[in-house]
Amino acid sequence: MVRYIQQMIIVIFLILFLATLPSIVLVDPANGTVSLNFAQFPSMVGNFFKELSTGSLGTYYVGMEQRSIASEIGDNFFTSFYIVFVGVLLSILLSLLFGIFLSRFYLTKIFRVMMNIISTIPDFIFIIFALLFAVNIYKWTGFRVVSFLPNEGALNIWFPMVLVAIAPSIYLFKLISERYFLIAGEDYIRTAVAKGLKVDRINFQHVYKNIEPFLTADLVKVLSLAIGNLFIVEYLLNVSGLTKFVFQSFGDPQPIAIGLFCMLIISLLVFLAIRLLLYLFKRGFIYE
Amino acid sequence: MNKVYNRNYALYLGIVSVTIVLFFTVFGPKIAPHSIFMALEVKYIDGDVISPPLKPFESMAYPLGTDRWGYDLLSMILYGLRYTVWIAIAVATIKMIIGTVLGMFIGTWKKTPSFIIAFEGAWSYVPAFLILYFCLLPINFGSILETPILIAYFIVIASLVGTPSIVSSVRQKTAEIYKRDFVLASMTLGAKRWRLLWRNVFPQLKESLLVMFTMEIVYVITIMGQLALLNIFIGGTIVRNDPVIYLSVTKELSGLVGQARENLMGNQYILMVPLIILLITTISFSLLTAGLKNKFQADYARMPWIKTGIKPKGRPTRKRLGEKRILNFSLHKVGFAILFLLFVLGGLFVNQYSDSKIGVTNENKGDYSLELSMVSENEFTVKEEVSVKNESEDKWKELIFFAPRNLAQLELNEIIVNQENLPYEIKDDVYYITLPEKWQGESRFDVQFNYSMTGIEDADIFQDWYFALAPYKNGRWAEATKDNPYIHHHHALLSSFKVSYDLQTGYTFISSAIENDKEKVSIDDVKNFSFSIVSDNWEKNERITQKDTQVSFLQQSPSRKELTEEEIIAVFDYFEEAIAPLPFKQVDIFISDSLETESVPGMVILNAEGAQNPYILAKEVAALYFASAISQDPQKDSWIGSGLSHLAAYQYSVDQGEESKQQALAYLQEELGALEEHVNGSQVSNTNINEVEHEAILNAQPAWKIIELIEEHYAYRGISPEEVGEKYLSSFYEQFARREVDTEIFLQFTRDYFSVPSGAFNQWLNTEASRK
């Protein structure tokens, strides 16, 4: 518990630090050196919390127009939340399915080859290729697969969800296959085989149970991968999510900090939701 | 069959492709067909308009196409790749070293402090590129910081940001190994922590560290790519307004992807080409990672008990303890050796090839060996042997030599080619030697001339005293330079000379060549071999410049000689400092009342009156660099040598202070004024020498125009016009020393240097004239 609190404090500090960094790093034009102006840090953090204590989230600029963050952040928050939640859920489902339960079938071989190929491609390149592909599909067939207009609903949001799911899927699938391979060599599996248990049953009752701790342990990593790609995906696909506050504020600490904190909240919510789902799954299907 | 299927192809492919990528990072800029600063201009070729953006494979000159401003994509990639890969490797290396040391150290602690774990957790939660984004956001755009500094910042920050994750995984692995029995055994035997770490833990870790290292390289490239999408290009982002566009300074691959982001909808190839190359680069490293992983898995894994569908790739390699073979021959080692050999050979080839592409290349060669013997006072007999090489595809029907000019009398006895006396024709001082049919396919000829000559009275300087092979290019022999008031020499090849001499007593042989033996000298890559024979009535004085070049002063009228010598040495010192060390080991300065001021390879001849003017002095010394060591075709391109010499003289005057700068400007303006009076309208500097109407077209005009160009565009290259002028001259010289240049090459270089279109030269050069 202490560690969680420590972790939270560090993350909050880190977010505040990042948000104020553009104002702290100064370039001295006279002799071309970089200087750090840490003296400003406390006052900027103070301003941030003062703004929060008045009950408002502060303002941000769209072009020259000043707008209140609080009145707009709701939609953006939920858009980002859906994308991350669906993305992470998708990746867990796929990797568990192919990593353990379907691992021995030919289908998984194809899936594994596909994943291996995709995993050699860095996420951002894959995302650009996916975009190019989508644009070309529209050019060839006139069929609109994706939309860059923020108010197009599902057309605007399904593609980001899939793209966000890719990196976590690759990561989890590799992790789970590797674990599966290791666990399959353990003695208790031999015992189970010797007892004449079916493979599916061994997978469920022996393997999954031993893989689950690794899954929950790496959930944070998975989330961080998803969030990392969320920034790129939202930015490139013009999804009006939280990254808008982070990237379009030109170093104004207030919206950046708000955006990053909301990201933190989103990942917390998704983390809890996934943990809950995994718990229910275990309770429902696995013998203790 | 299983043997073939079960090989670790990822490893082989990975090693080969990483080697190829590394090859291009090292030699890329040498292979690049174009400069990254020079854009394709709209051209008409056979009725077709060629204009940027060019699609890939549309033009042979631009194989991967150009971007919308006309910059060659292939060249940008070849220049940029080295930044991408080496920055990634640098970051990964720093990360791995710090991370491994810290991680191993912390891993040996009995209990890891919870704040470290908390920090690792928090740190891994925040995406690394986001931290870098906020670090680089304030300094990267249109930055006044220099590119290397920005790159260094990126390397340092990226390494620091990435280190905690390495520390974390090394720490966990170390802690795991630390619990093993063999560590306990060592501990019981009294091993201290460092020994345990180094002898017990590290050997267990090294394979996974290697895998981590290659993985980190890909990871760093990914981060660079993500930053590039947010317009943070490593090495600096140039921001142009109206419309807002972002450009990469270094042309680093992910930067190229980032700057082409708007091409998602149209001209997609501008985005696709760098993206695919970036993909190939990352896949190479990923393959290497996967291959290494496969190898280590095959080496160390236990086989599973149930069917998992996962098979280790490749056969395990086992170390046989105690086995020592001197020649441990294996296919893998041979493969490695071949790969290494290919790398080196390829590098040598590329170096050779790119070297031969600099400057104008003539398609023949002539190396001279001359035997000179003095019969009486200014009467000589010469045996000249020229070994001629035909490097073109053509079959020659004749050989063409230019006759010596500066001689009072010449008597040719015979011309012998390959030991056979051949007939020849003489037309306007050009000797045409008709080759018999049997030799027309040959590529080597040994030509021998035997002649006697008489020097000009009281001029002891021999410039043009031997039969010179005419240059051959594109199926044509060079023409002889017709008589004109400005240029007296013929177009000559850069050749090597071996001269032996036999003089009467009381005379000394002076040349800038190196004396190998007694009465034998040789010199390489000069366009002309000049020497002088000095009798006792010349006063000789030797001095040495700061860069150890020997300067001999020869004077007939030693009045005010000290002053002039000081002045000339000062000029030499300036040029050797600002441009380059002199192209000659030894330079002879003749000062006389009766000689005309001029500069020939290795010699400066000064009229006693001209020697008083520091500008003229400087110009003649500069001609040693730009007219002697850099060759030009005197027909059209002699302005390059004389123009740049004048520019160098101007630079020297500027260096001497405001007063002399004004004098130099006044001199140039006066010349230009005379030009204006003399010439109706204007004449370009690369006019055929026979049509040139005034000398200023060849010297004052180009010098003045280049000074104007520098004044206008110096900010692109440096702080002040003076500094940029010097840098321009020295880079021009460095690139083309001992080579031949023409107007087109000058244009390429200068356009590239100041990033200007060829339109900037239209006023004073015919930029359309192509090399024919």
The string of pLDDT tens digits covering residues B170-212 is 998 999 888 889 999 999 999 888 888 888 889 888 888 999 9
Say if CB A51 and CB A58 are below 8 A apart: yes
Instruction: Report CB contact under 8 Å: B275, A125.
Output: yes
Which residues between 241 and 270 in chain B have a beta carbon less than 8 angstroms from any beta carbon of chain A? Answer: 257, 264-265, 268
What string of H, E and C letters represents the secondary structure of B522-545?
EEEEECCCCEEEECCCCEEEEEEC
Q: Percent of chain A scored above 90 by pLDDT?
A: 12
- The number of CA neighbours under 13 Å toward the Cβ of B90 is 14
The per-residue pLDDT for range A138-194, each reduced to its tens digit, is 888 877 777 776 666 666 788 888 889 988 998 899 889 888 888 888 899 999 999
Q: Is the pLDDT of residue B772 over 50?
A: no
- Cα torsion B574, B579, B580, B581 to 10°: value is -20
Helices (H) and strands (E) in chain B, counts: 19, 28
| Chain A interface test: which of B144, B221, B308, B311 (most A C-beta within 10 Å) | B308
ipTM: 0.86
Mutation target to probe the B interface, by most B beta carbons within 10 A, among A5, A8, A9, A10 is A10
- Cα-to-chain-centroid distance, residue B349: 15
What are the tokens at B232? 């943070």
Q: Stretch B377-382: mean pLDDT, rounded?
A: 83
State how far the Cα of B588 lies from the Cα of B764, in Å rounded to an integer: 35
Distance of alpha carbon A132 from alpha carbon B128, whole angstroms: 26
Look at A193 and B305 and tell me if their CB atoms are within 8 Å: yes
**Order of all β-strands in the sheet with B461-462:** B461-462, B531-534, B508-511
Residue B135: how many CA atoms within 13 Å on its side-chain side?
A: 19
DSSP B234: T
Contact yes or no for B305 and A125 at CB 8 A: no
Residue B646: what pLDDT? 92
| Average pLDDT of the segment spanning B217-221 | 91
Q: Is the pLDDT of residue B767 over 90?
A: no
Q: Which of residues 144-163 of B touch A (CB under 8 A)?
A: 144-146, 149, 153
From the list B121, B225, B306, which residue is nearest A125 (CB)?
B225
Residue burial A98-127, b: 16+ Cβ < 10 Å; e: rest: bbbbebbeeebeebbeebeeebbbbbbbbb
| Helix or strand (DSSP H, E) at B383 | strand B379-390
d(CA B10, CA B768): 52
Most confident of A273-282, B233-242, B454-463, B717-726: A273-282
Assess whether pLDDT exceeds 60 at residue A119. Answer: yes
Can you count the helices (H) and strands (E) in chain A?
A: 12, 4
Indicate the residue of A122, A136, A189 with minimum beta-carbon distance to B306: A189
Q: How far apart are CA A137 and CA A154, in angstroms?
A: 18
Tell me what the pLDDT averaged over chain B comes to: 84
What's the whole-number mean pLDDT along residues B696-722?
Answer: 87
**Are B532 and B510 spatial neighbours (Cβ–Cβ below 8 Å)?**
yes
Q: Closest-CA residue in chain B for A267? A: B125
Calpha distance B296→B517 (Å, rounded): 64
| Burial classification of residue A71, based on how many CB atoms lie within 10 Å of its CB (0-12 exposed, 13-18 middle, 19 or more buried) | exposed
Span between the terminal Cα atoms of chain A, in Å: 25
Cα–Cα distance measured from residue A19 to residue B140, given in angstroms and rounded to the nearest whole number: 17
Chain A CB contacts of B129 under 8 Å are 228, 231
Q: Can you say whether the dihedral through the CA atoms of B576, B582, B587, B590 is positive or negative? A: negative
pLDDT in tens, A54-97: 777 677 777 677 777 777 788 888 888 989 999 999 999 999 98
Minimal CA–CA distance to B8: which of B274, B331, B315?
Answer: B315
- Of the listed ranges A150-159, B108-117, B264-273, B441-450, the least confidently predicted one is A150-159
Q: Which two tokens stand for residue A167?
A: 């990196």
| C-beta separation of B110 from B100 below 8 A | no
Q: What count of other Cβ atoms lies within 10 Å of the Cβ of residue A197? A: 17
Partners of A7 on chain B (C-beta within 8 Å) are: 118-119, 121-122
| Residue A151: per-residue pLDDT | 66
What superfamily does domain B540-772 belong to in CATH? Neutral Protease Domain 2 (1.10.390.10)
B278 close to A (CB below 8 A): yes
**Chain center to CA of A211:** 21
Helices (H), B260-308: 269-300
- Mean pLDDT computed over A95-118: 84
Do A91 and A222 contact (CB within 8 A), yes or no? yes
In Å, what is the CA distance from B730 to each residue of A104, B545, B576, B644? 69, 18, 10, 11
Q: Which of B118, B126, B225 sits opposite A122 (nearest CB)?
A: B225
Report pLDDT for B5: 66
Q: What distance in Å separates the CA atoms of residue B154 and residue B693, rounded to the nearest whole number?
A: 58
Whether residue B446 has pLDDT greater than 60: yes
Nearest CB neighbour to B309, from listed A18, A108, A119: A108
Which chain A positions have a beta carbon within 8 Å of B286's beta carbon?
119-120
- DSSP code of B304? P
d(CA A215, CA A222): 9
Pick from A17, A10, A7: nearest CA to A45: A17
Q: Which one of B130, B139, B225 has the shortest CB-CB distance to A34?
A: B139
Q: How far is B279 from chain A (nearest CA, A)?
A: 7
- Rounded mean pLDDT of B684-692? 84
Domain boundaries for CATH 2.60.40.1730 within chain B: 361-537
Percent of chain B with pLDDT over 90: 19
More confident residue, B407 or B695: B695
Contact A104 B309 (CB under 8 A): yes
The reply to whether B80 touches chain A by the CB within 8 Å rule is no
Find the farthest-apart pair of alpha carbons in chain B and give their distance in angstroms, rounded: 105
Minimum mean pLDDT among A221-230, B306-315, B610-619: which range?
B306-315
Q: How far apart are CA B191 and CA B485, in angstroms?
A: 90
| CATH classification for the domain delimited by B361-537, as one of 3.50.50.60, 3.40.50.1220, 3.40.50.300, 2.60.40.1730 | 2.60.40.1730
- DSSP 8-state class, residue B597: P
Q: Name every residue whose Cβ is closer than 8 Å to that of residue A207 and which is 6 or more positions away in sequence.
A: A100, A180, A183, A184, A189
Residues of A in contact with B147 (CB under 8 A): none
Q: In this predicted model, what pLDDT tens digit does every residue of B540-576 receive, in sequence order?
A: 888 888 888 888 888 876 555 566 788 888 889 999 9
**Closest by alpha carbon to B642, among B691, B581, B700?**
B700
Long-range contacts of B761-769 (CB under 8 A, 24+ apart): B761/B705, B763/B682, B763/B705, B764/B682, B764/B684, B764/B685, B764/B701, B764/B702, B764/B705, B765/B684, B765/B685, B765/B686, B766/B684, B766/B686, B766/B687, B769/B636, B769/B686, B769/B743, B769/B744
Q: Please, which residues have CB within 8 angstroms of residue A175's CB and are 6 or more apart in sequence?
A: A95, A99, A214, A218
SS3 (DSSP) at B247: strand
Question: What's residue B694's pLDDT?
Answer: 85
Report how far residue B174's alpha carbon sits from residue B26's, in angstroms, rounded to the nearest whole number: 37
Report yes or no: A264 and A251 within 8 Å, Cβ to Cβ: no
Instruction: Please give the residue of chain B at the shortest CA–CA distance from A111.
Output: B309
Contact A236 B268 (CB under 8 A): no
Counting one residue from chain A and one from chain B, the pairs whose CB atoms sit within 8 A come to: 163
Question: Which residues are CB-contacts of B427 (< 8 A; sequence separation ≥ 6)?
Answer: none
pLDDT tier at B771, thresholds 50, 70, 90: very low
Q: Which residues of B touch A103 (CB under 8 A)?
A: 308-310
pLDDT at B22 over 90: yes
For residue A240, is pLDDT > 70?
yes
Q: How far from B392 is each of A216, B350, B473, B527, CA to CA, in Å? A: 73, 21, 8, 20
Q: Across the interface, which of A10, A136, A246 has its CB nearest the CB of B122? A: A10
Q: Is B138 on the interface with A (CB under 8 A)?
A: yes
Label residue B1 by pLDDT band (50, 70, 90): very low
Among residues B226, B279, B117, which one has the least CA distance to residue A227?
B226
Residue ranges matching CATH 1.10.3720.10 in chain A: 74-285
pLDDT at B87: 95
Does the pLDDT value for residue B336 go beyond 80? yes
- Facing B122 at nearest CB: one of A2, A14, A124: A14
CA separation for the pair B404, A243 (Å, rounded): 79
* Six-digit token string for B157: 């920050």
Q: Do B229 and A2 touch (CB under 8 A)?
A: no
CATH topology of domain B9-298+329-339: MetI-like fold (1.10.3720)
A-facing residues of B in 7-36 (CB < 8 A) are none
The highest-confidence range among A29-33, A67-71, B155-159, B308-312, by mean pLDDT, is B155-159
Topology at the third CATH level for domain A74-285: MetI-like fold (1.10.3720)
Question: How far apart are the CA of B639 and the nearest CA of chain A, in angstroms?
Answer: 41
Q: What angle do CA B280, B284, B290 make, to 5 degrees?
A: 135
Residue B278 CB neighbours (<10 A): 29
Among A23, A199, A224, select the one facing B306 at the smallest CB separation.
A199
Query: Is residue B159 over pLDDT 90?
Result: yes
Residue type, B66: T
Q: Name the 3-class secondary structure at A263.
A: helix
Q: Decide if pLDDT at A126 tops 60.
A: yes
Instruction: Determine the average pLDDT of the residues in B439-468.
Output: 80
CB contact under 8 A, B282 and A103: no
Contact B138 A26 (CB under 8 A): yes
